[in-house]
């Protein structure tokens, strides 16, 4: 009977672990404001994002009459060069982080706005200042330079569901730990239970890694992007998220290998000691 309960506890622990890992990642990297800002801050130095932002800024300033049609080409070249030149400067990164922090607060506001956008005014203001002396016309950033990112009601519901990842992740984590302890405590051979849990952890890491690719593509395929800049931002964030989660899975897999090896070694030592008696 003890063996049966130990096995059931181990299964519960591994299933809970499979749920806890992605939920805890969402909690620390998306739901938590500081975690999200830190996670997304590296995008400020991404060449693809810089190019998309330069094109977006030029088009917006032109459509609002800030840049006369005759100066659109030289203005676009100057803005693109300025973004590339200043992307490694503290001011540009700080402006991007300010943008991400304000968008995060809007996304997790209650109620969430009907249209979720990113206010790129801090970045635009910083870049425009860099080209103020390079053009024959003065540029000024208009108020309300917001890039719509989420406009579909289904996407807004998805964001709302993400909010629940924090409590659910903690619950799943607690159940996983309790199940693992029960599995080991009820097992007739502690070393055997540790090895079994380690192998199961390795399988969980592999299954989550296999699932992350299709999930990533599903998010990109079914998330509407109102602009090219929004589409680029979504793609880069999803790619970064997949890479960050993969790093967690590598750690999980290594922990599984260590636990499996420790359990097998312990079982071997115990068996050898028993035969020598």
The pair of structure tokens assigned to 248 is: 């967690």
Distance CA 50, CA 83 (A): 6
Burial class from Cβ neighbours inside 10 Å (0-12, 13-18, 19+) for residue 259 reads: buried
Domain borders along the chain are 2-29+160-276, 43-151
The pair phi, psi for residue 57, each rounded to 5°, is -65, -45
Hey, how many other C-beta atoms are within 10 angstroms of the C-beta on 97? 17
Contacts 24+ apart (CB under 8 A), 23-28: 23/165, 23/168, 23/169, 23/172, 24/165, 24/169, 24/170, 24/172, 24/173, 25/244, 25/245, 25/248, 26/162, 26/165, 26/166, 26/169, 27/165, 27/166, 27/169, 27/170
Cis? peptide before 111, omega within 30° of 0:
yes
Q: Longest C-alpha distance within the chain, in Å?
A: 94
What pLDDT shows up at residue 153? 61
Could you tell me whether strands 116-119 and 146-150 are parallel, antiparallel, or unpaired per DSSP bridges?
antiparallel
Residues 60 and 145 sit within 8 Å (Cβ to Cβ): yes
Could you read off the pLDDT tens digit of each residue along the chain, which spans 277 residues? 788 899 999 999 999 999 999 999 999 998 899 999 998 888 888 888 888 888 888 887 787 777 777 777 877 777 777 777 776 677 888 888 888 888 888 878 777 777 777 888 888 888 877 776 666 667 777 777 788 776 666 666 777 778 888 889 999 999 999 999 999 998 888 888 999 999 999 999 999 998 887 777 676 666 666 678 888 888 888 888 888 999 999 999 999 999 999 988 876 666 554 444 4
What pLDDT shows up at residue 68? 75
Q: What DSSP character marks residue 78? A: H
């Amino acid at each position: 009977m003890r063996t049966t309960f130990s096995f059931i506890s181990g299964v519960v622990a591994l299933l809970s672990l499979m749920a806890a890992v992605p939920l805890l990642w969402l909690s620390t990297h998306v739901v938590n404001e500081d975690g999200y800002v830190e996670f997304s801050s590296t995008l400020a130095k991404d060449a693809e994002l810089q190019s998309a932002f330069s094109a977006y800024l030029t088009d917006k300033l032109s459509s609002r009459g800030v840049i006369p049609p005759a100066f659109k080409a030289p203005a676009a070249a100057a803005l693109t060069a300025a973004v590339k030149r200043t992307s490694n400067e503290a001011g540009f990164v700080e402006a991007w982080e300010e943008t991400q922090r304000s968008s995060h607060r809007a996304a997790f506001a209650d109620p969430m706005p009907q249209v979720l956008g990113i206010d790129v005014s801090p970045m635009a203001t910083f870049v425009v200042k860099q080209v103020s002396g390079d053009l024959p016309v003065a540029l000024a950033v208009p108020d309300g330079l917001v890039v719509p990112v989420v406009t579909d009601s289904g996407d807004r519901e998805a964001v709302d569901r993400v909010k629940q990842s924090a409590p659910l992740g903690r619950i799943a984590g607690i159940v996983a730990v309790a199940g693992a302890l029960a599995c080991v405590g009820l097992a007739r051979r502690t070393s055997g239970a540790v090895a079994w849990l380690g192998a199961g952890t390795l399988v969980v890491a592999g299954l989550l890694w296999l699932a992350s690719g299709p999930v990533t593509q599903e998010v990109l395929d079914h998330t509407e992007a109102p602009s090219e800049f929004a589409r680029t931002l979504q793609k880069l964030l999803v790619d970064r998220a997949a890479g960050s989660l993969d790093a967690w899975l590598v750690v999980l897999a290594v922990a599984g290998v260590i636990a499996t090896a420790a359990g097998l070694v312990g079982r071997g030592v115990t068996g050898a000691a028993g035969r020598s008696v």
